[in-house]
Amino acid sequence: MELYRSHVLVCGGTGCHSSGSADIIGRFNSEIKAHGIEKEVQVVQTGCFGLCEVGPIVIVYPEGAFYSRIKADDVPEIVSEHLVKGRVVKHLLYSHSIEEDESIKALDEVPFYQKQKRIALRNCGVIDPENIDEYIAFDGYKALGKVLTEMTPEEVIETIKVSGLRGRGGAGFPTGLKWEFTYKAKGDKKYVACNADEGDPGAFMDRSILEGDPHAVIEAMTIAGYTVGADQGYIYVRAEYPIAVKRLTIAIAQARQYGLLGKNILGTDFSFDLELRLGAGAFVCGEETALMASVEGGRGEPRPRPPFPAVKGLFGKPTLLNNVETYANIPQIILNGPEWLQSIGTEKSKGTKVFALGGKINNTGLVEVPMGTTLREIIYEVGGGIPGGKKFKAAQTGGPSGGCIPTEHLDTPIDYDSLTAIGSMMGSGGLVVMDEDNCMVDIARFFLEFTVEESCGKCPPCRIGTKRMLDLLNKIAEGKGEEGDIEKLEELGQGIKIASLCGLGQSAPNPVLSTIRYFRDEYEEHIRDKKCRAGVCQALLQYFILEDKCRSCGLCAKACPVNSISGERKQPYVINQETCIKCGACMERCPFDAIIKR
Amino acid sequence: MKTLKELEEIRQRTLESVNLRKDRTGTRVVVGMGTCGISAGARPVLLAFVEEIRKRNLQHVTVTQTGCVGVCRYEPLVEVYTPDNEKVTYVNMTPEKVKRVVTEHLVNGQIVRDFTIGVVEKKD
């Protein structure tokens, strides 16, 4: 392999990819060639760096210069100035990566990365995911070698158990126990499966791991195969993740070529192979029994448990099913020892968790923090706070299965148990931040609409119950709410939680119940005063023209699509509330900010 | 099919080339590549450093460039920063001189006094 004096790392994660990173790579290659330095400088496409907000991201080593929001047209300047003459192009650098004395900060000193500890994401943004050698260089497949030559399955299980690793897919079941159950289950054939059916709106950590470090998952699944006694594995990934699918396919082919998958791995008598299964994107297929039905080629519907997959899983055989992020932790635990993971996190939740930050937050992106980090640290330090100096109202964790966390719990150290105690859940790690402009009734409605749409329809509590809850929420948001509606929502919610067949229904009422728990006054306002304080619920709003600010220019009347605004010269204009459709066009058009909604 | 030993070889070989992306604490060789440096022949000097470092498999040395440092009459100019933050400035560099700097300074820790700015200035 050539030795290059400089490496240009261009993010090829989904976020940066869709804002044009492929063009940027092409431009780098052509510019570098034009300057005749292609033997000195290497351009590498990596996985996600996490700071998607300021993408596309380009990092140039050895300086570690962090360029943000790069366009293809910026490339010639970076090449001719930085790569040829060695002058870092300051005006293109990410502003938080520059020290006061104008030198460049190391990447892990940038505020966004400072509080992070990257285990599952450790190779994302560092290696080329389509090059197995780079994964191997950073200790890849070393854990597999250790397991196959030095450890018995019992020792692997003991290591995982002692480490305290819990499932990163949502419920937080101890991973070591799951491995042990599958290992002890009797069967002539066993399977290992990976749940990459990431469905929570806004969550994209599994996708980023598959795109940025696919070999970590392949290595971990092979270790799992050896441990539980399986020779075949399946990765169930959504077809909507084309980059992840492509890189997984390449990675599997490379691993086979190196004999890291297939017969007699590393010269031992252990054989194992992997296959991809593409899901059509039904949310319910993230539920383990529905996922297995789908892998088998059946309809993606859940079935009652027990029997659990460890006893009766894929094709009726004992099956080990873990989530992508859980697998990504395994090689590191084998290499560093269980005590290492134990030293990170809280008493009952060890290690780190990846969160997908979204909503009203400055640094939208992917962050990995030790368990026990507070919500305040994630939002204000890693996430860079809320844009426009607005006030924090709530954070939603766990997607449609989780709940809202209000201001009073901002300082709760986040782990599986503390989140459950305050009425939310870890879930897969979606974290949506909401400010004073978000209406909590509307948020509950948004998530419930999602579950109503995604309910598979097999059991009535989920199919009919969630629909009835949504009807009630719609009624409240439209200003037709009555006394007793909140109580009805609570009663229905409790019933659905108890009676539903699978996790989807059992957790579907959570967003409604938790918003009622913490923001009951907002619900009551909607019902009693017909008022939405955040100004979101259209039916409860009225647009008004402020007489003292109106300059009678008539622009609003022209903008109104239903001719509901009238007025004369030198007289303030007036909105006819009877015919107004509350589209907001007048407010946008007014040059004097004379139109308000309340 | 790869054996564990072959995997280790791939690891060593690739690490050499990707090490650059992690290590910021080792020795840094900074070559002045302003207009003055380039016209005085900084590029062959830079390439000579990369080549010598590769040959000797020096894992903790990175080669970077910088602009003009102001003493254009001594270009090509090279600064070597060691982990203890000591800086040595070599002047009037050539690819031949690079070999000595790499063997004596980077490998054995002996500064090549004859090439340093202090000694050269006195001679002038």
Report residue A143 as tokens: 């854990």
Report residue A56 as tokens: 């596309």
| pLDDT higher than 60, residue A13 | yes
Return the number of other C-beta atoms located less than 10 Å from residue A434's C-beta: 23
pLDDT number for residue B34? 78
Average pLDDT over residues A321-339: 97
> Which long-range contacts (C-beta less than 8 Å, at least 24 apart) are formed by B118-123?
B120/B74, B120/B91, B120/B92
Residue in A112, A116, A56, A67 with CA at minimum distance from that of residue A384: A112
Report residue A258 as tokens: 């190196």
Contact check, Cβ <8 Å, B11/A62: no
Contact list in B for residue A259 (CB cut-off 8 A) is 1-2
Q: What is the chain B residue with the closest CA to A257?
A: B1
Return the number of other C-beta atoms located less than 10 Å from residue A30's C-beta: 13
User: Could you tell me if A511 and A448 are in contact, meaning their C-beta atoms sit under 8 angstroms apart?
Assistant: yes
pLDDT number for residue B62? 83
* Cβ-nearest to A61 among B4, B21, B54: B21
User: Could you tell me if A545 and A572 are in contact, meaning their C-beta atoms sit under 8 angstroms apart?
Assistant: yes
Q: Parallel, antiparallel, or unpaired: how do β-strands B61-66 and B27-32 relate?
A: parallel
Contact check, Cβ <8 Å, B13/A1: yes
Task: Tell me the count of A-B CB pairs closer than 8 A.
Answer: 98
Report residue A494 as tokens: 């409790």
Contact check, Cβ <8 Å, A136/B7: yes
| pLDDT higher than 70, residue A1 | no
Average pLDDT over residues A38-67: 91
Amino acid identity for residue B10 in this structure? I
* Cβ-nearest to B14 among A136, A142, A267: A136
- Interface membership of B55 toward A (CB under 8 Å): no
Q: How far is A42 from chain B (nearest CA, A)?
A: 10
pLDDT number for residue A198? 92
| pLDDT higher than 80, residue A101 | no
pLDDT number for residue A2? 67
- Interface membership of B105 toward A (CB under 8 Å): no
- Interface membership of B22 toward A (CB under 8 Å): yes
Amino acid identity for residue A499 in this structure? A
- A 502-521 → B contacts, CB under 8 A: none
Average pLDDT over residues A547-562: 92
Report residue A562 as tokens: 């239903």
Phi and psi, residue A519, nearest 5°: -130, 40
Q: Residue B24's pLDDT band (boundaries 50, 70, 90)?
A: low
User: Could you tell me if A186 and A312 are in contact, meaning their C-beta atoms sit under 8 angstroms apart?
Assistant: no
To test the contact with chain A by mutation, choose from B10, B60, B77 the residue with the greatest count of A C-beta atoms within 10 A, namely B10
- Interface membership of B11 toward A (CB under 8 Å): yes
* Cβ-nearest to A4 among B1, B15, B17: B17
Contact check, Cβ <8 Å, A85/B2: no
Domains and CATH numbers, chain A: 6-114 (3.40.30.10), 132-341 (3.40.50.11540), 352-435 (3.10.20.600), 440-529 (1.20.1440.230), 542-597 (3.30.70.20)
pLDDT number for residue A261? 97
* Cβ-nearest to B11 among A87, A136, A149: A136
Q: In the Cβ-directed half-sphere of A520, how many Cα atoms lie within 13 Å?
A: 9
Report the share of chain A in percent with pLDDT over 90: 81
Q: In the Cβ-directed half-sphere of A337, how many Cα atoms lie within 13 Å?
A: 3
CA-to-CA distance for A93 and A70, rounded, in angstroms?
Answer: 9
pLDDT number for residue A494? 96
* Residues B49-104: tens digit of each pLDDT: 988 988 888 878 888 887 777 788 888 999 998 877 688 999 999 999 999 999 99
Return the number of other C-beta atoms located less than 10 Å from residue B109's C-beta: 9
* Cβ-nearest to A86 among B15, B53, B67: B67
Q: How many helices (H) and strands (E) does chain B have?
A: 5, 4
Contact list in B for residue A266 (CB cut-off 8 A) is 1-4, 7
Contact check, Cβ <8 Å, B24/A145: no
* Residues A378-391: tens digit of each pLDDT: 999 999 999 998 99
CA-to-CA distance for A390 and A378, rounded, in angstroms?
Answer: 17
Average pLDDT over residues A161-178: 94
Domains and CATH numbers, chain B: 24-123 (3.40.30.10)
pLDDT number for residue B23? 55
To test the contact with chain B by mutation, choose from A5, A11, A83, A130 the residue with the greatest count of B C-beta atoms within 10 A, namely A5
* Residues A283-307: tens digit of each pLDDT: 999 999 999 999 999 999 999 999 9
Average pLDDT over residues A36-43: 90
Q: How is A396-426 classified by DSSP, letter by letter?
A: EESGGGSEEEEGGGTTSBPSHHHHHHTT---
Mean model confidence pLDDT for chain A: 93
Contact check, Cβ <8 Å, B17/A139: no
Phi and psi, residue B63, nearest 5°: -110, 125
CA-to-CA distance for A246 and A251, rounded, in angstroms?
Answer: 9
pLDDT number for residue A170? 79
CA-to-CA distance for A293 and A178, rounded, in angstroms?
Answer: 20
More confident call, A1 vs A554: A554
Average pLDDT over residues A449-458: 95
Contact check, Cβ <8 Å, B33/A63: no
Report residue A485 as tokens: 């509606």
| pLDDT higher than 80, residue A354 | yes
CA-to-CA distance for A123 and A137, rounded, in angstroms?
Answer: 11
pLDDT number for residue A257? 96
* Residues A480-521: tens digit of each pLDDT: 999 999 999 999 999 999 999 999 999 999 999 999 999 999
- The DSSP output letter for A464 is I
Report residue B104 as tokens: 């004596």
Is it true that the peptide bond before A331 is cis, omega within 30 degrees of 0? no
Contact list in A for residue B18 (CB cut-off 8 A) is 7, 127, 134, 137-138
Element containing residue A566 per DSSP (H, E):
strand A565-566
Contact check, Cβ <8 Å, B33/A85: yes
User: Could you tell me if A161 and A177 are in contact, meaning their C-beta atoms sit under 8 angstroms apart?
Assistant: yes
Contact list in B for residue A149 (CB cut-off 8 A) is 4
* Cβ-nearest to B20 among A1, A62, A127: A62
pTM: 0.88
Q: Residue B45's pLDDT band (boundaries 50, 70, 90)?
A: very high
* Residues A178-230: tens digit of each pLDDT: 999 999 999 999 999 999 999 888 899 999 999 999 999 999 999 999 999 99
- Interface membership of A1 toward B (CB under 8 Å): yes
Contact check, Cβ <8 Å, A127/B18: yes
Q: How far is A529 from chain B (nearest CA, A)?
A: 59
CA-to-CA distance for B67 and B78, rounded, in angstroms?
Answer: 11
* Residues A263-276: tens digit of each pLDDT: 999 999 999 999 99
Q: What is the chain B residue with the closest CA to A267?
A: B3
User: Could you tell me if A169 and A288 are in contact, meaning their C-beta atoms sit under 8 angstroms apart?
Assistant: no
Average pLDDT over residues A525-543: 91
CA-to-CA distance for A439 and A16, rounded, in angstroms?
Answer: 31
- Interface membership of A38 toward B (CB under 8 Å): no
CA-to-CA distance for A24 and A2, rounded, in angstroms?
Answer: 23
Residue in B102, B5, B110 with CA at minimum distance from that of residue B55: B102
- Interface membership of A260 toward B (CB under 8 Å): yes
CA-to-CA distance for A263 and B32, rounded, in angstroms?
Answer: 54
Contact check, Cβ <8 Å, B46/A85: no
- Interface membership of A268 toward B (CB under 8 Å): no
| pLDDT higher than 60, residue A347 | yes
| pLDDT higher than 90, residue A310 | yes
Q: Please state the three-class secondary structure of A434-459 as a single string.
A: EECCCCHHHHHHHHHHHHHHHCCCCC
- Interface membership of B47 toward A (CB under 8 Å): yes
Residue in A320, A317, A323 with CA at minimum distance from that of residue A236: A323
